[in-house]
A and B are shown apart, each in its own frame.
Chain A
């Protein structure tokens, strides 16, 4: 972590919480938790509420679909931490690791429904080129995604275009798979608030 305050600048209560997390999970506290708990009224609180709405609020996309979108946006941004973190959550939600792996390796040939495939392709372009046009949106609609589904996917994309940037700018430590699996279980059970 490139800012010491994000590593160790938390208040006493938060430090006690981190000690508890380390004891219970037998894993180090993920840097993303340290970020959202630092001066939480500035970023972690309002961003957590937004991410909870996007990832767990009512939507016809499943939790697995939205976690896959999050991992896909992160992969497009080359954010290693967020790609691994949300691939693990998507895998847990779908109970299908191959589907997640295939989608992140080659979305064109992955065994997923067409509306999801077209949505992922559009989110990839938006993330990579910082823009999409009406024709890109028509392609997603033609593949069978509804306008609402596109709006919901853009909410996921917004969240992870923020979080992935912060992970990379602040230099999050990328731990091994066990830590991400523990994080995924927490996010599936408790959400983002």
Chain B
């Protein structure tokens, strides 16, 4: 099987704990989609929920609030990976519930 456990761990620790232009706490907040203030919180929430609704204005607002392009880059990457991680973990838990104890009815 294609096992992405190691690769996921490496990716997550790199973006959240490695060197970056945004602080580790900002990157983690973007990953978790919580604890950020406007307008960054609105951008991060769109990336997590409806990325196709992100507009030029959302990115411009984040820049105007004082973030550099590199900081926006990192925060958007963390937001996307965080959202995908929550979906993935939810799905694996559902699979575990379906296969871990097949006789137990939920």
Contacts and interface: CB of A to CB of B under 8 A. Distances in A.
Interface of A: 2-6, 9, 38-39, 41-43, 46-47, 49-50, 53-59, 77-79, 126-127, 130-138, 141, 147-148, 150-152, 154-155, 157-159, 161-162, 164-171
A132 B90 contact: yes
Contact of B4 (A53, A167, A170): A53
B1 A148 contact: yes
Interface in B71-106: 72-74, 76-77, 79-81, 83-88, 90-92, 94-95, 97-99, 106
Contacts of A161: 80, 83-84, 87-88
Nearest to A127: B87
Contact of A54 (B4, B49, B86, B99): B4
Give the interface SS of chain A, mostly helix, strand, loop or mixed: helix
A154 B76 contact: no
Interface residues of B, number: 47
27 contacts: A3-B59, A5-B73, A39-B70, A42-B14, A42-B18, A46-B7, A46-B10, A49-B10, A58-B1, A58-B2, A77-B51, A78-B52, A134-B106, A137-B91, A147-B99, A151-B92, A152-B2, A154-B91, A155-B3, A157-B87, A157-B91, A158-B85, A158-B87, A165-B47, A165-B51, A169-B79, A169-B80
Given A5-B69, A162-B84, A165-B47, A147 B95 contact: yes
B97 A137 contact: yes
Contacts of B106: 133-135
B4 to A, nearest CB: 4
Interface in B39-77: 43, 46-49, 51-52, 54, 56, 59, 69-70, 72-74, 76-77
A53 B7 contact: yes
